[in-house]
Structure 1
Amino acid sequence: MKRILYIEDDYDIGLVTKEYLREKGFSIEWLQSGEGAVEVVKDFDLVILDVMLPGLDGFTVGQRLKQEAPEVPILMLSARTAVDDKLQGLKFADDYLTKPFHPRELAARVEVLLRRFGLPSVSTITLKHIKVILEENRIIDVRTGGEVILTGKQYQIFMYLLRHPNQILTKEQIYEAVWGNPYFEGDKNTLMVHIRYLREKLELDPGSPEIIETIRGIGYRVKQ
């Protein structure tokens, strides 16, 4: 059962939406403000987040959630229909739905995000000489049996690529998903440095990578 963190301060909307998603088979934790959300976000598979909240607004809460757990997709809800508001939300959110909405459309968007972000339904992934044990968050070099130790950002980048097998991901997509901040041209070097160090740990020949491919002028891809 997929777990959803639902943050909505409107009681009537929250109650109807919560019950509908429960009927669809989801486990729902409903908060009426963003307080405490950052501390628990990693326990969930997806976040549904309203923009208008008491205290910190949804944009601020969402940025903090994405910084804490870039692997958890965020679906923003808002009565604001201006393009600038949508663009602000989509700097960190993975989808944006305007109010009023039909619960069926919300559930459909949730399903799409979960499919897009979901890791394969297997316990391990093997790439060349590398075995990724998903349930244990461990990466093993099968030649030696030794564990490959990654930094937090290296691991987040690699997991993000694994969630999108065979898909070419732009530098902007990867940076904003992992760092949780808008991408600027100067951030390209930050990402490239992390990719270089990641390849040094994963590839047999970092100069001719076979696991993390460079797609010139676009970004990167992991082929499975």
Structure 2
Amino acid sequence: MKTILVAEDEPAIARVLSAYLRKAQFHVSIAADGRQALDLFAKDSPALVVLDVMLPHIDGWEVLSRIRETSSCPIIMLTARSEVEDRLNGLNKGADDYMPKPFVPEEVVDRVQAVLRRPSQWTDGLRQRRFGRLSIDFSAQHVSLNGARVTMMPRDLALLLFLAEHPNQTFTREQLLEHVWGADYEGSDRAVDLSIKRIRQALSHWPAEEGDIRTLRGTGYQFWIEN
């Protein structure tokens, strides 16, 4: 039975979510503040985290950032604020999905199940390839530039791996969302743009003559290398 960590400081909401998730055959751990959320995350190794933004002691954004330092565990953010900026902030920090309050508990369970169905890696049997100074190990899923490990958010790494597996092929935002975020993803396609921006920043010292993450205006993105 998969464990879901619910980090929510409003007891009534936590109880309702817990009841619906247990009905869907999940084991549930509940944290009432950010410190407890991090402790339970380390202790229980959950399959997914439902994370409220407005937590006491350590807020949800900081909890998200700390988890992302060591783990690609899926995270769904909960917030009473539904502004687009909040949603993009969560996606930019590595959240997998976003639910504004108030919400229907059944929809949260549906989102949890949808996120857990998404593919966790995108490899086709390749082991390692070099693109000039850039080295990508598809089996270990890590990237090195000029011999130094490049640290990336899990979703950014997944996007880079997918593009690098198909060099010089152009993919639309919709195709990248389907292949990397999963067919069940219901968020904005701006998530692709934000991820591409972070990848370019991470690879800023990769010489342009060796390769590039290119934007084809009106079409999409491609991992370009010199043939």
Q: Give the TM-score range, shorter chain.
A: 0.5 to 0.7
Q: CA deviation at 1:76?
A: 0.9
Residue identity matched to 2:6: Y
Residue identity matched to 1:191: L
Residue identity matched to 2:75: I
Q: How far apart, CA to CA, are the structure 1 residues paired with 2:113 and 2:39?
A: 24
**1:191 alignment partner, one of 187, 199, 203:** 203
Pair 1:8–1:19, CA change in 2 (3 A): same
Q: Is the 8 A contact 1:8 1:32 kept in 2?
A: yes
Which one is further off, 16-25 or 76-85? 76-85
Q: Is the 8 A contact 2:6 2:31 kept in 1?
A: yes
Calculate the aligned-residue CA RMSD, in Å. Answer: 4.0
**1:98 alignment partner, one of 87, 97, 100:** 100
1:153 aligns with 2:154: no
Q: How far apart, CA to CA, are the structure 1 residues paired with 2:91 and 2:153?
A: 24
Provide structure 2 residue ranges, at least 5 long, that are not aligned to the other structure: 130-136, 143-147, 167-174, 181-191, 216-220
Q: Is the 8 A contact 2:53 2:60 kept in 1?
A: yes
Q: CA deviation at 1:161?
A: 5.7
Counterpart of 2:88 in structure 1 is 87
Residue identity matched to 1:127: L
Q: CA deviation at 1:61?
A: 2.0
**2:114 alignment partner, one of 112, 115, 118:** 112
Q: CA deviation at 1:29?
A: 1.4
- The 3-state SS of whatever aligns with 1:126 is coil
Q: Is the 8 A contact 2:53 2:61 kept in 1?
A: yes
Residue identity matched to 1:75: I
1:8 aligns with 2:12: no
Residue identity matched to 1:65: I
Q: Taking structure 2 as the reference length, what is the TM-score of the superposition?
A: 0.59
1:5-60: per-residue Cα shift (whole Å, max 9, x none)?
A: 21001111101111210110112211111104345546222110112211222222
Q: Is the 8 A contact 2:78 2:101 kept in 1?
A: yes
Q: What are the residue-to-residue correspondences of 1:168-183 with 2, within 5 Å?
A: 168=176, 170=192, 172-173=194-195, 183=198
1:216 aligns with 2:214: yes
Provide structure 1 residue ranges, at least 5 long, that are not aligned to the other structure: 140-149, 176-182, 197-206, 209-213
Q: How far apart, CA to CA, are the structure 1 residues paired with 2:55 and 2:157?
A: 33
Q: Is the 8 A contact 1:116 1:163 kept in 2?
A: no
Aligned residues: 179
Counterpart of 1:22 in structure 2 is 22
Q: How far apart, CA to CA, are the structure 2 residues paired with 1:28 and 1:41?
A: 12
Q: How far apart, CA to CA, are the structure 1 residues paired with 2:48 and 2:15?
A: 18
Q: How far apart, CA to CA, are the structure 1 residues paired with 2:153 and 2:92?
A: 22
Identity of aligned residues (%): 34
Q: Taking structure 1 as the reference length, what is the TM-score of the superposition?
A: 0.60
Pair 1:161–1:20, CA change in 2 (3 A): farther
1:51 aligns with 2:73: no
Counterpart of 2:75 in structure 1 is 74
Q: How far apart, CA to CA, are the structure 1 residues paired with 2:194 and 2:24?
A: 33
